Structure 1
């Protein structure tokens, strides 16, 4: 029997380090300054700039034989939003700026979860009995690009999260959209599509 071994890692952060334990998105988990554990992270009053590198990404991985793949429709548990502490960088001149950056990081991690759910939904809608793993790449490419664009726009509009009111407004929109896609949480079973 032909066996599919398909591992695809879509990176929001641009790089991946094997062996570290990622934190999966959970509505109860709230990012803190201490979670930005890259060696480049620092809060130092001598700094004249500030920056954040999210550490959040979308991860898809599965290993199944061709028969299992053919009869699998729900890939919710195979697509995850994760945060990797060792990749997350926060650079700030003071604790106030650091907290503003963390607020943006929280928004960004929730945005990654939103797009993870959008990917799950699109896979669910488009996967047929005779689909192959080539179905996934265009879905990821399209939604990853859209997510990066949204993140960059909010990043710029809020000046790295310094406009806390606008950031909160954008964050609330993301949370509302996550709730709208409740059928596509990692442990959820989507309702059957009626034709």
Structure 2
């Protein structure tokens, strides 16, 4: 089996049912339960020596919101349920991008000339935990996305958050703070 490259978040792409490519994914009328494992996560990696690290201020391209198709599972008894789960999956992938931007912003604000890479892990852990809590709360509150109206409201909040952090997209250069 070929390991697929993870799909990097893109504002112009919306997840499709066909993106849930885990062998466990299925839509089958005999099923009595349904579930989703989004396959979306924040990928954070950098490889640089301490000198180049010291002179790097913008780590936007080192923090990626990715979707791993081969790990993404969607199980539903019918297409209606599958599409409700898919809406939640789309929300979740956007939530991952929002938190990737929050991490990029916090690194940008907190990294000084003499910071070392130990700066990252606490930021990453704190925001990852917050993101997981928000995702779980919305998952529960919307009943796996079955409450479409509430899910849309929560999704719009996430989109607004992404737009407010537009300087912290993966390919963006944050504006210098003029003092």
> Which bin holds the TM-score, normalised by the shorter protein?
over 0.9
Q: Secondary structure at the match of 1:90?
A: strand
Give the aligned partner of residue 50 of structure 2.
Answer: 66
Give the aligned partner of residue 12 of structure 1.
Answer: none
2:137 to 124, 146, 153: 153
Q: CA–CA distance in 2 between the matches of 1:190 and 1:131?
A: 19
Give the TM-score of the pair, scaled to structure 2.
0.97
Deviation at 1:19, TM superposition (A): 4.1
Q: CA–CA distance in 2 between the matches of 1:171 and 1:180?
A: 14
Q: CA–CA distance in 2 between the matches of 1:65 and 1:153?
A: 40
2:71 to 78, 87, 112: 87
Q: Secondary structure at the match of 2:175?
A: coil
Deviation at 1:82, TM superposition (A): 0.3
Alignment of 1:106-185 (within 5 A): 106-185=90-169
Give the TM-score of the pair, scaled to structure 1.
0.89
Give the aligned partner of residue 21 of structure 1.
Answer: 5
Q: Secondary structure at the match of 2:58?
A: coil
Which structure's residues are more often strand, by fraction? 1
Give the aligned partner of residue 177 of structure 2.
Answer: 193
Runs of 4+ in 1 over 4 A off after TM superposition: none
Calculate the aligned-residue CA RMSD, in Å.
1.1
2:59 to 72, 75, 79: 75
Q: What is the aligned length? A: 178
Deviation at 1:126, TM superposition (A): 0.3
For residues 15-71 of structure 1, the C-alpha deviation after alignment (integer angstroms, 9 at most, x for no partner) is xxx943000000111101111000111111011110000100001111111111000
Give the aligned partner of residue 29 of structure 2.
Answer: 45
Q: Is residue 3–residue 70 contact of structure 2 (8 Å, CA) maintained in 1? A: no
Deviation at 1:193, TM superposition (A): 2.6
Q: CA–CA distance in 2 between the matches of 1:85 and 1:139?
A: 27
Deviation at 1:106, TM superposition (A): 0.1
Q: CA–CA distance in 1 between the matches of 2:178 and 2:43?
A: 29
